[in-house]
Structure 1
Amino acid sequence: MKSLYIYHFLLLLLFSIVTNAQNFYDKTPNIIELSPSNFDKVVHKSNYTTLVEFYAPWCGHCQQLKSSYGKVSKLLKDLAVQVAAVNCDEAKNKQLCAINRVQGYPTLMVFRPPKYDVNSNGNRNNRQFKHANELYRGERSFKSITDFALSRIKNYVKKYIRPTKLVDALKKDVSTNDINSNRPKVVVLSKGSKISPVLKTLAIDWLGLIDFYMIPKEYLSVDSTSNDIKCPVKSIDDNNINIVDTFFCDELPNYASDSLLVVFSSGSNGTNYTVMDSDKFSPLNINKFLIEILQMQPREGYMSKRHEWLHKQATKKLKNPPPPVFDEL
Structure 2
Amino acid sequence: MIIFRPPKYDAIDHEKNLKESDGLKFATEIYKGQRSLSAIVEFVLSRIKNYVKKLHNFDQINKYIQGRTKTNKSKILLLTDKNKPTPLIKSIAIDYLSSFETAYITIKKNEKDEIFDFFKIDKDIAKLPQIIIIDTKDNPNEKEEIIVYDGDLNKVALSHYLSNFATPLEGPASKRMDLLNKHKNINNSQNNKKDKNKKKKNSKNTANAHDEL
Superposition TM-score tier, normalisation by shorter sequence:
0.7 to 0.9
SS of 2:99's partner is: coil
Other-structure match for 1:299: 169
Other-structure match for 2:79: 189
Other-structure match for 2:144: 271
Shift of 1:167: 2.1
| TM-score for both structures, normalised by structure 1 | 0.49
Letter in 2 for 1:305: K
SS of 2:144's partner is: strand
CA distance in 1, matches of 2:110, 2:184: 44
Q: Select the residue among 105, 127, 136 that pairs with 1:257.
A: 127
* Structure 2 residue 121 is matched with structure 1 residue 230: no
Letter in 1 for 2:24: F
Shift of 1:123: 7.0
CA distance in 1, matches of 2:184, 2:13: 30
Letter in 2 for 1:132: A
* Structure 2 residue 131 is matched with structure 1 residue 202: no
Q: Select the residue among 149, 153, 160 that pairs with 1:281.
A: 153
Match runs of 1:125-274 below 5 Å: 125-126=18-19, 127=21, 128-171=23-66, 173=67, 176=68, 178-180=69-71, 182-218=72-108, 221-222=111-112, 229-230=113-114, 249=118, 251-252=120-121, 254=123, 256-267=126-137, 269-274=142-147
- Change in 2 beyond 3 A, CA 1:316/1:115: farther
CA distance in 2, matches of 1:166, 1:220: 16
Letter in 2 for 1:166: I
CA distance in 1, matches of 2:86, 2:119: 27
User: Which runs of 5 or more residues in structure 1 are unaligned?
Assistant: 1-107, 223-228, 232-246, 321-329
Other-structure match for 2:202: none
Shift of 1:145: 1.4
Letter in 2 for 1:290: L
- Conserved? CA contact 2:3–2:30, under 8 Å: yes
* Structure 2 residue 7 is matched with structure 1 residue 117: no
Shift of 1:310: 5.2
Q: How many residues are aligned here?
A: 184
- What is the CA RMSD across the aligned residues, in angstroms? 2.9
Q: Deviations over 1:137-173 (max 9, x none)?
A: 22322112111111110000012232222323332x1
Shift of 1:213: 1.0
- Change in 2 beyond 3 A, CA 1:135/1:309: farther
User: Which runs of 5 or more residues in structure 2 are unaligned?
Assistant: 193-213
